[in-house]
Amino acid sequence: MQKDTIEDLFERLSGEFDINEPDKDHKLRFLDKLKANELTSLNTIKSSGFNWKPYLAIAASLVICLSVFMTAQNEPDVLDLASVSPELSETQDFFTVTIENELKKLNNERSPLTEQIIDDALKQIETLETDYQNLKTDLTESGNDQRVIYAMISNFQNRIDILNSVLKQIDTIKELKTNKNEPNNTI
């Protein structure tokens, strides 16, 4: 199949092009037809019935908001020491800050010699944290029972004791290492 060049194409189609000017009223007739089409499409939309989509969207939004509100109302707030009294709030803050500081010290002491001891301590701390979360639930259910409050304070103290104990063990390990590496200067 041979390809035609543009010139060949125009020469071959020269008598077939519509080069006549449209009538004067052509533009007005075209616009009238467009308006007529537009009016019939609007009438079709208006006569098709009531548009439920916006109202359906509003109703769906209201149902979602209502269900979220009802769910939030049904879940009781989990209490902690801070919710019992201002004094216990200060106690909780003190323990929390102390534990965070001890954890920072512990992580600063990481070395190949202390890695295992630190990992074990952190596992014990995680266990105590899980116990504390259970105690918070117990406090909520018991209605500020003093025994639960004492157990929560004891949990904080146990965490601090573990961290202090591990830090002492790390100091002992460091001391033994330095003593072992020192040359004997005996006479």
Q: For residue 121, tell me if it sits in a domain.
A: yes
The pLDDT score that the predictor gives to residue 48 is 53
In a domain, 131, yes or no: yes
pLDDT in tens, 129-158: 999 999 888 888 887 788 988 998 999 999
Looking at beta carbons, which pairs linking 29-35 to residues 24 or more positions away fall under 8 Å?
none
Neighbours of 116 (CB within 10 A): 9
Q: State the pLDDT at residue 73.
A: 64
Task: Report if residue 67 sits inside a domain.
Answer: no
In a domain, 144, yes or no: yes
| Residue 98 domain boundaries | 81-181
- Has residue 76 got a pLDDT over 70? no
Q: Does residue 48 form part of some domain?
A: no
Structural domain includes residue 53: no
Q: What percent of the chain has pLDDT over 90?
A: 19
* Number of domains the chain contains: 1
pLDDT of residue 168: 93
106 domain residue, yes or no: yes
Domain-embedded: residue 124: yes
The helix/strand/coil state of 28 is: helix
